[in-house]
């Protein structure tokens, strides 16, 4: 809990920093309270794109050496530089262990590399004003995020967190991809322990949030479904003034949590009490599902079963809340493809195969079978 609190504080720091992109060594010294291990390299600058995995480093990236349970990024500092990293950030307590050829002005030391990554992402986020939609829940986060990203891109340039980058590290790396061209940003946020959502919410600063559902996922860290709802519900506290909260109205545990928090929210789903409720769902054969709204609008997506219909309705509810036109929504959905491994249809030699190989939780797997 204490570590999560510190990251929440780091996420709030750096508000309004004036920096240039890419970031110079001097910028990083100032923003991160970092110190180069030797005389600063002349004109050294990198980013804003960053990496924590030496295998994904591209020329000009910043490399953050993060310690982990199974390995340590400091072991791969040399590989990161060979792959083109411009600057690297390491822990002060590991600097003395680095080979002499890596203790240069291109390597900067900080107290905590994860906290430094969050701090830089926060400073970079403050340079832009995208409309941020954050999605959380036990199931459906990634697919709903990809649906919304496709819809937003039909309107203009939008950024979405890649794959299932839903941790604090993933969110920070996503924010460092932000540019002035991005009018919208959609991210998914996942947690497995108390306190984690506070740091995520403080860093994302969403203008709208969407809660898909809560199920028995990550109970080893959260204990019960009610605790899952309570911890995920923390995200509602970080919605910017005038923002919106969309909640699955068919999930009684989620509804109870939102009411406990006295949050203003709008429901979506299939129950009679849902504010955003489709008139019906129509099977669309091998192509997926079609949702028909009360005004007669029909929206199609290559998704299957009621869990696919829920993801589509969730995205439609958020898109409506963002004021997007039916034409923009339809255009975006036409460009949507399910994420790999997420009940994605693939055709091979005239046979329809469904790829649902992602390592999902029990509830997601049950939905796929149904």
CATH classification at residue 323: 3.40.1190.10
Q: Are 271 and 250 in contact (CB under 8 A)?
A: yes
Q: Are residues 274 and 315 in the same domain?
A: yes
pLDDT in tens, 248-288: 999 999 999 999 999 999 999 999 999 999 999 987 777 88
Q: Are residues 300 and 199 in the same domain?
A: yes
Give the pTM.
0.88
* Count of structural domains within the chain: 2
Q: Are residues 190 and 264 in the same domain?
A: yes
Comparing CA positions, the residue from 144, 76, 114, 164 lying closest to residue 333 is 144
Q: Are residues 239 and 147 in the same domain?
A: yes
pLDDT in tens, 44-101: 999 999 999 999 999 999 999 999 888 999 999 999 999 999 999 999 999 999 999 9
**What is the DSSP code string of 51-75?**
ESSGGG--TT-EEE--B-SS-BGGG
Q: Are residues 132 and 117 in the same domain?
A: no
* pLDDT for residue 295 is more than 60: yes
Q: Which residues span the domain enclosing 201?
A: 128-334
Any domain includes 222: yes
Q: Are residues 173 and 275 in the same domain?
A: yes
**Confidence class of residue 15 from pLDDT cuts 50, 70 and 90?**
very low
CATH classification at residue 72: 3.40.1390.10
* H-state helical runs in 83-179: 92-95, 113-125, 141-155, 168-175
Q: Are residues 241 and 137 in the same domain?
A: yes
Averaged confidence pLDDT in the chain: 90
Collapsing DSSP states into helix, strand and coil, what is residue 276? strand
Degrees, nearest 5: CA angle 235-241-247: 40
Which residues contact residue 69 at a Cβ distance below 8 angstroms, ignoring those fewer than 6 apart? Answer: none
Collapsing DSSP states into helix, strand and coil, what is residue 96? coil
pLDDT in tens, 200-249: 999 999 999 999 999 887 677 788 999 999 999 999 999 999 999 999 99
Comparing CA positions, the residue from 277, 235, 278, 225 lying closest to residue 256 is 225
pLDDT in tens, 88-123: 999 999 999 999 999 999 999 999 999 999 999 999
Q: What is residue 43's predicted lDDT score, i.e. its pLDDT?
A: 85
């Amino acid at each position: 809990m204490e570590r999560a609190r510190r990251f929440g504080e780091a996420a709030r720091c750096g508000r309004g920093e004036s920096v240039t992109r890419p970031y110079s060594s001097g910028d990083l010294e100032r923003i991160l309270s970092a110190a180069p291990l030797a005389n600063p390299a002349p004109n050294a600058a990198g980013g804003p794109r960053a990496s924590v995995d030496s295998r994904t480093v591209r020329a000009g990236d910043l490399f953050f050496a993060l310690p982990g349970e199974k390995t340590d990024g400091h072991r791969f500092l040399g590989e990161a530089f060979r792959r083109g990293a411009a600057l690297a950030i390491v822990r002060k307590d590991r600097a003395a262990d680095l080979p002499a050829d890596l203790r240069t002005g291109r390597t900067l030391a900080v107290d905590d590399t994860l906290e430094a990554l969050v701090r830089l992402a926060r400073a970079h986020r403050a340079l832009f004003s995208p409309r941020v939609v954050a999605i959380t829940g036990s199931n459906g986060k990634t697919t709903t995020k990809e649906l919304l990203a496709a819809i937003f891109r039909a309107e203009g340039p939008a950024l979405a967190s890649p794959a299932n980058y839903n941790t604090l590290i993933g969110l920070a790396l996503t924010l460092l991809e932000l540019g002035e061209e991005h009018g919208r940003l959609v991210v998914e946020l996942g947690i497995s322990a108390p306190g984690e959502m506070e740091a995520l919410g403080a860093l994302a600063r969403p203008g709208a949030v969407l809660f898909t559902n809560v199920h028995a996922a990550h109970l080893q860290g959260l204990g019960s479904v009610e605790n899952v709802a309570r911890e995920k519900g923390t995200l509602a506290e970080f919605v910017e003034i005038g923002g919106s909260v969309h909640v699955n109205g068919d999930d009684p545990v989620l509804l109870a949590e939102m009411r406990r928090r006295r949050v203003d929210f709008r429901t979506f789903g299939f129950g009679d009490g849902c504010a955003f409720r489709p008139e019906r769902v129509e099977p669309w054969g091998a192509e997926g599902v079609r949702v028909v709204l009360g005004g007669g609008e029909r929206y199609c997506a290559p998704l299957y079963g009621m869990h696919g219909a829920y993801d589509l309705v969730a995205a439609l509810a958020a898109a409506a809340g963002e004021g997007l036109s039916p034409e923009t929504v339809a255009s975006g959905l036409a460009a949507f493809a399910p994420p790999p491994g997420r009940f994605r249809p693939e055709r091979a030699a005239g046979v329809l195969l469904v790829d649902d190989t992602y390592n999902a939780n029990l509830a997601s797997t049950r939905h796929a079978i149904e």
